[in-house]
Amino acid sequence: MNLHVFESYEEMSVNVAQCIIDLVKEKPDALICLPGGSTPLGTYRELVKAVQEGRVDFSRVTFVGLDEFVGLGREDEGSCQHFLFTEVYGPLGIKESQIHLFDAKASDLQAECRRIDELLFRRGPLDLILLGIGVNGHLGFNEPGVSFDSYCHVVDLDEVTKTVGQKYFKEPKQLSQGITLGIKHMLEARKVVLAANGPQKAEAVYQALRGEVTPSLPASVLQTHPNAHFYLDKAAYAKVEETR
Ligand code: PGA
């Protein structure tokens, strides 16, 4: 596991963005998975700045979405897709033909899983997947107890995810299921970048890095990935630091 620790969230974000920029410079037609969530917001703002300054060109990149709350779509504020269109695809000028997201409102969600799986089998593996980590150690909606053998799947959300997920919505929201890329897509990715900031992530980061590899803490599986990188601010690194 490769650790990159920064003084601040801002510094972490600049460096995660640079890692994405470097990859796209090296491989302009890369296949990249980006997540929603609070963690990558600073990274996305840096990417927008880089595009405006002509430092990178995303016009040949293909984007895959990580996950979505079942029943929510692009027009629903708080959904992953709403966030990605507002903060990433829109400001970066990404064309619809470059974007592949789950339709979490589809009547046949299994068919949605197959559609994204097939895309990844055909075009993949992912050149880079950016991930956050849940306070329960989840990756995307790969919740505690998930099989490490899973590709795309529909999942009953963990209670922690339902509670913490309220932060994305203006009004209380009934959240019950998610649709997500599976752990196997992550393990098959050429490069995994997990970003985490703030004291609320310190325990999950510690378990992911120093605990046993177990489905109870899904992010621990990244210990088995040959090219996984954790980008952390000091607060998220605190417990690892303490126990060195
Ligand atoms: P966050 O979500 O970036 O909003 O903290 C991360 C996650 O739950 O995976």
Residue at token pair 């970003």: 195
- Across the range 132-161, mean pLDDT stands at 98
What's the 202 CA to ligand 1 centre distance in angstroms? 13
DSSP collapsed to 3 states, 133-153? CCCCCCECCECCCCCCCCCCE
Say if residue 202's pLDDT is above 90: yes
Residue 87 DSSP code? I
Q: Which of 82, 112, 138, 158 is catalytic?
A: 138
The SS3 assignment for 174 reads coil
Q: Which of 46, 67, 87, 233 is catalytic?
A: 67
Domain assignments of the chain as residue spans, ordered by start:
2-242
pLDDT in tens, 155-197: 999 999 999 999 999 999 999 999 999 999 999 999 999 999 9
CA angle 124, 105, 194 (to 5 degrees): 45
Architecture of domain 2-242 in this structure: 3-Layer(aba) Sandwich (3.40)
- Across the range 135-146, mean pLDDT stands at 98
- Across the range 192-221, mean pLDDT stands at 98
What pTM did the predictor assign? 0.98
Is residue 42 lining ligand 1, measured as CB closer than 6 Å? no
Whether the CB-CB separation of 175 and 157 falls below 8 Å is answered with yes
Is residue 133 lining ligand 1, measured as CB closer than 6 Å? yes
- Residue 36's pLDDT is what? 97
Is residue 147 lining ligand 1, measured as CB closer than 6 Å? no
Is residue 132 lining ligand 1, measured as CB closer than 6 Å? yes
- Residue 244's pLDDT is what? 82
